[in-house]
Structures are given as structure tokens and as C-alpha cells.
Amino acid sequence: MTSEERKDTREESKKTSASIHPLELTSANIDETGPIDMSQFLEIPSTDSMEHQLLKGRVVAVTETDVLVDVGLKSEGIIAIEEFTTPRGEILVKPGDQIEVFLERMEDANGYVVLSKVKAQKMKAWEEVENAFKENRAIKGVVLDRVKGGLAVDVGVRAFLPGSLADIQPVRNLRALRGQEYEMKVIKVNRKRGNIVLSRKAFLEERMSGQKDRLIEAKDSKKPIKGFVKNITNFGVFVDLGGIDGLLHVTDMSWRRVAHPSELFKVGDEIDVLVLDYDEENNKLQLGMKQLEPSPWGNIEEKFPPGSRVKGKVISLTNYGAFVELEPGIEGMIHVSEMSWTKKIKNPSSLVNIGDEVEVAVLQIDKDSKRISLGLKQIEEDPWETIKDSFAVGDIIEGKVKNITEFGVFIEVLPDVDGLVHISDLSWRRIAHPSELYKKGDQVEAKITNIDVVNKRISLSIKDVLPDVWEKFFTSHSLNESVEGAVTKIVDFGAFVDLGDGVEGLVHISELSEDHIEDPSQVVEVGKAYSFKLIRMDRDEKRIGLSLKENRPVEEEPKSSDKPAGKDGRVSLGDIFDLSQFQKKDGE
């Protein structure tokens, strides 16, 4: 803006002014104003004494570079437009606005009064800080940043908040307070040195001292008090009760299950709470909200008597069971052991899902612990009661092979009720794995050997419905009898022999040969058949002992008539002992 433009603006301002200031009177306007009262000039203060003071003025014009302000002096004041511009570029004033400014100089090189809006604000801020210090009252400030020893705070001017005075309790992370607005006490101020020290701790302690009586009364009377949600965590919300923060734990928010406090609250909400416990020494408050309503557990046994059937909604699943909401605030749990009569449930999700409507039986109620045990399987008839009444040990059943394991096979006796045939009860002969004989889906017959209703077990035997090959063998054979058999397996202590029809015998290593041997394979081979003598037959233990050495024929000694005769037909001692081999050779 050029000096000529500023002059034009100033002239325009004079035309719009409601009156003419005495300092601006000239010979040109004396006639227009009429007689002059000279006392007016006597009341005008010295302009020099007005410098560095706060003045009130009216915005006359706003240009691209400056703001012109009429403060009632001989000329308008000028302030750079930047002092009224926000970081976003917004202009905060317009012509006609009344503002407070700081008078720096009466006149610059262009004849304008030099003013400052920023300095006016700082001067006002200093006055406010000094007054707050004298009156022992709090002021508001915004934390700017972490500095050495504490925090820099904006209270209109820059002030210092020591870290030890930032809160009643020590603050571990001062940077987390940046950008927050707090009320604080001024504990030290020196304008000449530009020094202001604040204490938020002093403000909180003062406010808390006035709140303690109110909180104690609220606790004793059990009357609700109002507060504001200050912070939300996974385990609850912190509520500001007017200088003292209390914790409303998630378990004290509602009688019904609350997964996360954010389901019910947001920061800034005004809520009514009860003071459950107040630790004055440590300034800890425990709050409750659900206690404002009657507990739904009051007449729980009348609403859900044990043995009754009720409907509910699955609201949560765990590895050990499912939680079912019977009504708002009332939940029960179905343990995995109470889900099925016949199936071993490893995960509840195999039967129920969150949101499912289920019918359950009330098994047990613990009113003090607020726990209800529910059962899902009790809604259906126990199939084991049917088994107990319909089957007996010794009965022959027919069923399908449902599963095969290393130790046996499971056969379906009734829908969802299986019986086990142990590997030792599958066949009269020895087998390595049940899959040698059966596969899933095979239809088989088996005898019931045991029924355990308490432990929900049925033992079966397939070999018991087959002819007893051992009894047949013991009936048709006797001790010292020779039998044929093929070696099936060689072990350190002997060899196992298949005697036919699944009957197996053992020949001990000492019964393999008259000579001492270290390894049975020196005498017998797997798969090769031999003739053995029966040396042991244990009918009860179903064991058969065999001997190979006792069943071998004894070799006969050669007779004398079989020896070679001499030339005369007689046998000499030399012929018998073949002494010719001892005769000396020629020349020896």
C-alpha cells in the first residue's frame, strides 16, 4: 500500500467518523464546528504518556496488507494483516469491529499511529496471569510441548509447568499431555524476566479437597452422582466427578455381558454412577452403574428352577463350553460334558454357534456366585438307559464298523452309541493291526462282554462268535504228539510256529537243537515247515510249547557187518580203525 493510498484511506475514515477529535482541529474546520471550548484542550492527556498502553479502537478498513484502526488520535493506526490472519489464511476482523490494541508509537514515517494486536493480547495475558496469581485463582492453558524439566504451556503468553506439578500422581509420559487444555494455578510470575510458573497439581488438590466430602456422602447415602466419561479402556471407563477420576469397571456397567465399554459409552458422555468404594489416601474411586437397577438374580431360582427347560441365545463360545443368555443380565453355561450323551465334544462349535436359539435344561444355580449350569443333552433321552434295559452281557449284536484304531475297532450298537472290540478280541489268531481284517462300513457280528453305563462304555468280542480254534486243537491233540507247523516269526528267545487255524505255538531256543546255539536262525527259517513235538499244552492260558530237537530221529551207529572185510574175509583191528592212514610212507 503506497503512502498516497494510505492518505486516501485516512481521508475516507475522517469523513465516516461521527465526530472530530480535538487534536485534529484546523483553521479549515473551526468555522464549521462553531465556538471552541478551550477546556477540551486542557483535558487532553499528553500523547507521549499514551505510548505502550492498551487502547480500544474501531476497524476502519481492511486491505491486503494492513488493517486501519481508529483509536481516537490524530491519525489512524496501522497493523499488519498477518496479526489477524489464521494459519489457514482466514481474516479474523472486518470494518466496524471493536478491538483492543497496543500503542507502540504515536507516528511512523508515513504519519500513521503504530499499533499491535499481538502485543495487546500478550499484555492482556500478562495482566490476567498477574491477577490470577494475586487472587489465587486458576487459569486455563494449553500444553505446547515437552521441555527440559516439564512442559511449555500457552496461557496467552508462554509459561512453564514443572513435570512434578503436572498431576497429583507422577506422570510417566509428559508428551502424552501435549495439546491438552487444563486449569492450573499460577505459583510464580515475573513480567520483567518473562517468567511464569504453573501448577496443575495445586489446582487438582484444591478442587479435590472440596470434592471429598461430597464423595463420602454419596458413598454412604448410596445416591447417584453425575460425571463425564473421560477415557475408555478395554477394562472400563474413567469418569470425571469434578476433579477426581473414578473407574467404572466393565463388570459394573450392566447386568448383561459387555464385550467392550465402547458398546455403551463414548468420551464426553454425562452419566449417573454410584460410589462403590472410595480410598481417600490413594484417591481411588470404584464406581458402579448396574447397581442403580435391581439385580435380575434376586428371584433367579423362582424364574429358572433346577430341572426346568428354558430357551436362550448362544452369546459366547470357549474351549470348555458355551454361554447362553436366558434373559438380559442372566447367563448360564453349557459345559462340553453336558452337550451330548454319546459324542466326546472337543469344541462346542461342532454343535452350536453364536446366535443360535437353543433349548436347555437348568442343572444347578449358584446364586451367590451368579452362575447357572445348563445342559443340552438332557433335552433328549439318554440312550444308555435304553441300552441298559435292552441289552445284556452275552447278547449277540450286529452292527457296522464305524472306526478303526490301532487298539481295536468301534462297532455301532445304536445310533450314536458305539462298542469297542479290542484287537485281542478280533480273532483267535495273532494280528498286527485291525485293518488286516476289517474296514469302515463292514457289517459284523459281535458278542457283548461288558456294559458300563456309568462310564458309557460297551465292550464287544468278535472272536467269541467264531469257533474256538484253541479248544478244537486241545481236544484233538495230546502231549508228546508230533505236529507240523511253519515258522512265522523268529525272536531272540525262540521261534513262533503256525499250527493251523490261527493256533500258534512257541519253540524255545533251548528246544531247537542239542547243541548250544546263540541265534534261532541257525536252525530254523521263517516260512519253512518243520515237525515238532508237543511238550506243553496250557488250555487256560492258550499256550503251546514245542520242541524241534526231541522230534528228530536218533542216528544209528554202523554195525560190524557193515565194516569192510579183509582179503580172507576176516576183519582186523586195522580194518576197523583204518590204521592204514597211520602207516609211514616210503622213505620215512
Residues 453 and 499 in one domain: no
Dihedral sign of CA atoms 470, 475, 477, 483 in order: negative
Q: What is the pLDDT of residue 553?
A: 58
pLDDT band for position 279 (50/70/90)? confident
- Is 209 part of a structural domain of the chain? no
Task: Provide the strand spans (E) within 351-471.
Answer: 357-366, 371-375, 396-405, 408-414, 417-422, 443-452, 457-461
- And the C-alpha cell for 254? 450392566
Q: What is the pLDDT of residue 581?
A: 45
Q: Between residues 196 and 428, which one has the greater pLDDT? A: 196
Q: Give the tens place of pLDDT for each residue, 220-243.
A: 878 888 889 989 999 999 998 876
Read off the pLDDT of each residue in 69-92 and give the average, rounded to a whole number. 80
Q: How many residues does the chain have?
A: 588
Q: Cell match 462349535: residue?
A: 349
Q: What is the pLDDT of residue 313?
A: 92
CA-CA distance, 151 to 175, in Å (whole number)?
Answer: 8
- Is 167 part of a structural domain of the chain? no
Boundary residue ending a domain (75, 100, 119): 119
Residues 101 and 13 in one domain: yes
Is the pLDDT at 249 greater than 90? The verdict is yes
This prediction's pTM: 0.42
Q: Give the tens place of pLDDT for each residue, 299-334.
A: 888 888 998 999 999 988 998 999 999 988 888 999
- And the C-alpha cell for 361? 435344561
Q: Are 450 and 387 in contact (CB under 8 A)?
A: no
Boundary residue ending a domain (292, 320, 353): 292
Is the pLDDT at 473 greater than 70? The verdict is yes
Read off the pLDDT of each residue in 530-557 and give the average, rounded to a whole number. 80
Which of 197-201, 491-495, 550-554 shows the lowest per-residue confidence on average (mean pLDDT)?
A: 550-554
Q: What is the pLDDT of residue 116?
A: 75
Read off the pLDDT of each residue in 137-147 and give the average, rounded to a whole number. 91
Is the pLDDT at 565 greater than 80? The verdict is no
Residues 342 and 401 in one domain: no
Which of 88-92, 236-240, 525-529, 542-546 shows the lowest per-residue confidence on average (mean pLDDT)?
A: 88-92
Q: What is the pLDDT of residue 16?
A: 39
Q: Give the tens place of pLDDT for each residue, 97-116.
A: 888 887 877 776 676 777 87
Q: How many CB atoms lie within 10 A of CB 421?
A: 26
How confident is the prediction for the chain on average, in pLDDT?
80
pLDDT band for position 49 (50/70/90)? low
Q: Between residues 462 and 556, which one has the greater pLDDT? A: 462
- Is 85 part of a structural domain of the chain? yes
- Is 353 part of a structural domain of the chain? yes
Residues 230 and 280 in one domain: yes
Read off the pLDDT of each residue in 176-198 and give the average, rounded to a whole number. 90
Is the pLDDT at 167 greater than 80? The verdict is yes
Q: Are 103 and 77 in contact (CB under 8 A)?
A: yes
Is the pLDDT at 472 greater than 80? The verdict is yes
- CATH number of the domain bearing residue 320: 2.40.50.140
Q: Are 71 and 106 in contact (CB under 8 A)?
A: no
Q: Between residues 100 and 517, which one has the greater pLDDT? A: 517
Q: Give the tens place of pLDDT for each residue, 419-440.
A: 999 998 888 777 889 998 899 9
Q: How many CB atoms lie within 10 A of CB 352?
A: 19
Q: Between residues 378 and 213, which one has the greater pLDDT? A: 378
Residues 115 and 36 in one domain: yes
- Is 173 part of a structural domain of the chain? no
- Is 166 part of a structural domain of the chain? no
Spatial CA neighbour of 434 closest among 456, 417, 411, 412: 411
Q: Give the tens place of pLDDT for each residue, 381-391.
A: 878 777 878 88
Q: Between residues 285 and 467, which one has the greater pLDDT? A: 285
Residues 492 and 588 in one domain: yes
Q: Give the tens place of pLDDT for each residue, 29-46.
A: 433 334 434 334 334 444
Residues 11 and 26 in one domain: yes
- Is 491 part of a structural domain of the chain? yes
Q: What is the H or E stretch that residue 100 is in?
A: strand 98-105
Boundary residue ending a domain (268, 292, 316): 292
Q: Between residues 494 and 367, which one has the greater pLDDT? A: 494
Residues 549 and 448 in one domain: no
Residues 29 and 105 in one domain: yes
Q: How many CB atoms lie within 10 A of CB 259?
A: 10
Identify the domain containing residue 442 by its residue range: 390-465
Residues 580 and 484 in one domain: yes
Q: What is the pLDDT of residue 424?
A: 87
Q: Between residues 415 and 14, which one has the greater pLDDT? A: 415
pLDDT band for position 51 (50/70/90)? low
Read off the pLDDT of each residue in 493-506 and give the average, rounded to a whole number. 88
* Amino acid letter for position 528: K
Q: Between residues 102 and 153, which one has the greater pLDDT? A: 153
* Amino acid letter for position 468: D
Q: What is the pLDDT of residue 100?
A: 80
Q: What is the pLDDT of residue 508?
A: 93
Read off the pLDDT of each residue in 515-522 and give the average, rounded to a whole number. 90
Give the chain's domain count: 5
Residues 460 and 505 in one domain: no
What's the helix, strand, coil split of the chain in %, to 5? 25, 35, 40
Which of 426-430, 478-482, 558-562 shows the lowest per-residue confidence on average (mean pLDDT)?
A: 558-562
Which of 3-7, 145-149, 522-526 shows the lowest per-residue confidence on average (mean pLDDT)?
A: 3-7
Read off the pLDDT of each residue in 66-71 and give the average, rounded to a whole number. 85
Residues 518 and 435 in one domain: no
- Is 396 part of a structural domain of the chain? yes
pLDDT band for position 349 (50/70/90)? confident
